[in-house]
Chains A and B, each alone.
Chain A
Amino acid sequence: MATLIEVLVSGLALGAIYALVGLSLNVVYITTRVVSFAQGDIGMLVVAGTLWLGDHGGRPLAVDLVLALAGAAVVAVLVDLIAVRAIRGGVGVAAYGWIVSTLGVSIVIQNSTAMWFGTESRGFPHVLPTGTIELFGAVIPTERLLTVAVVAALILLLALAVAKTQWGRVARALADNQPIAAACGVPTNWIRTSVVLVGAALVGVAAMLSAPQTFVNAYIGTSLLLNGMVAIVLGGLGNVRAGLVGGLVLGVANAIAGRYLDSTLVPYVPFVLLLVWLIFGADVRGKLASARAARRRDPVGVTA
């Protein structure tokens, strides 16, 4: 029982981080219809940048974190401007041009970071208080519980912002119909930029929560991204609440596998989950999608 609780909490904490990355991807996708393959690296920049700043000047950790976040956010906006918006209108490659260009961005960010960060993996200071508590006989690091709490708080906050504020409304309107939103007086470019900034902040926090448990090097962005992508695919692209569930499912699955399966099989879990869901979950996805489509205007066009 105790181990089960430990495993579950560990899984939930992991899953919360994946869900946060997934949230970051979803928020941007909802407004721009693009999933940046460089999003994980933006998160990496936050933690790598914090460490670098820590090496150069005796500021408190919190200040370094904020500075690194700001820097990463600027990079995210530049990436959107250069590698995504510029691609949109091609013939033949239009559909997936941004996959290739964001992959390129990922390569650039990872390897240029390696140049100033170095090749050694480094530890990251704990951002949340360490220590343990006891729960039903299980020993649980408080950090894990706090991670779940922080992520839950962020998601709630963002859900509130998206649902109740004018910003959230116009961002959703933008996703529904950009030209008409503009015709209603919405400054579409600014809104898009703000969404990219929020996305960067979210993935930055995810990196901050994940790094203390593992390590930091120039390449951790890839695993952050992968887990986030699996989370949103499980939940359905664009579906924020389901992305949460997807992340938690993945986290718990990983934790359970880690505890009860042969260690060589553990790394396969996310990919097998992803493939199984993508390929065999098609019917379920289809039903979900048509249920959502029924609430929207018909995509084929009624005018005759």
Chain B
Amino acid sequence: MSTPLLRCSNVSVAYGEVVGLRDVSLDVAQGEVIAIIGANGAGKSSLLNGIMRLAKTTGTVEFDGHDISRARASRLTRMGLALVPERRQIFPSLTVEENLLVGANALPRRERRAALAEIYDTFALLAERREQAAGTMSGGQQQIVALARAVISRPKLCLLDEPSLGLAPIWVSELFNEITRLARTGMTIVVVEQLASAALAIADRGYVLEHGRVALEGRAADLLGNAAVAGRYLGSVDQAAAR
């Protein structure tokens, strides 16, 4: 395999005393869609926060051949990394268009308008509501805003942190269709999800995290519906039954 677009080597993430991620290594090749699943507290968000330099990490993270382990968060967009944060975290007091323009900050000024136009072509919803304050939108709509804000800068790698969180099922399928479409344009995608089936259904490969470590990995099709995955996911239901 050629050099992976993203490589994490022995990455640990800690928030003060609490260890979120322990010694995790994984690779993401160009053009792949990777699903990271696991129960709450398994370390999924910690992984993304670590990659995006929003949390303290040890270990090495390499992106596109560069070591970004010590880089500043604001540099990463320019390098082609983008994040759709947990719980969307759009800028509530800004309008949809302003949110998108902030996302396009890394682009030179001339290109921003063009990128904006492209986004409006792709996401009709946003074109309709470009002047609406993002904070007044529903969760599902905000998720689209957050997604568009991340991809407007045409990143090489897009990280999505639990995009289905708090969304009604119909929005979930909309969203995952969108992600698939983006993947088809050649974007590399890493989706962290609690809703394992939705994530695995669109992914090439998957990793199951448990207690901050990689418990299982493999092709998404193999993991889907797998009983061992369910067991890991629900924190060893079987062990409890044995008591």
Contact = CB atoms under 8 A, between A and B. Distances in A.
A binds B: yes
A172 interface: yes
Given A183-B76, A183-B85, A297-B135, A177 B91 contact: yes
Interface in A180-217: 180-188
* Size bin of chain A's contact surface: 20 to 34
Contacts of B77: 183-185
Nearest to B52: A183
Contact of B93 (A183, A184, A188, A295): A295
A180 B135 contact: no
B195 interface: no
Given A180-B85, A183-B83, A184-B149, A173 B74 contact: no
A130 interface: no
Contact of A296 (B72, B74, B92): B92
B166 A185 contact: no
B127 interface: no
Interface stretch (B6-14, B30-38, B95-103, B183-191): B95-103
Given A183-B73, A183-B77, A297-B92, A170 B102 contact: yes
Contacts of B149: 184
Interface residues of B, number: 33
Q: Which of B74, B78, B85, B87 has the most CB of A within 10 A?
A: B74
A296 B103 contact: no
A166 interface: yes
Contacts of B89: 177, 180, 297
Secondary structure class of chain B's binding surface, majority of residues: helix
Contacts, number: 83
B224 interface: no
A169 interface: yes
A26 to B, nearest CB: 14
A284 interface: no
Interface string B148-173: 01000100000000000110000000
Contact of B105 (A172, A175, A186): A186
A185 B87 contact: no
Nearest to B109: A166
Contacts of B106: 184-185
Interface in A25-40: none
A115 interface: no
Given A183-B52, A295-B92, A173 B165 contact: no
Contacts of B166: 302-303
B87 A303 contact: yes
A235 B102 CA distance: 28
B68 interface: no
A184 B53 CA distance: 12
Contacts of A295: 92-93, 133, 135-136
A166 B112 CA distance: 10
21 contacts: A166-B101, A166-B109, A169-B98, A173-B94, A175-B93, A179-B54, A179-B73, A180-B89, A182-B54, A182-B72, A183-B52, A183-B73, A183-B74, A184-B103, A186-B102, A186-B105, A188-B74, A296-B93, A296-B135, A302-B87, A302-B166
Interface pairs A-B: 6 shortest CB-CB: A185-B77, A185-B106, A296-B92, A182-B73, A176-B91, A296-B135
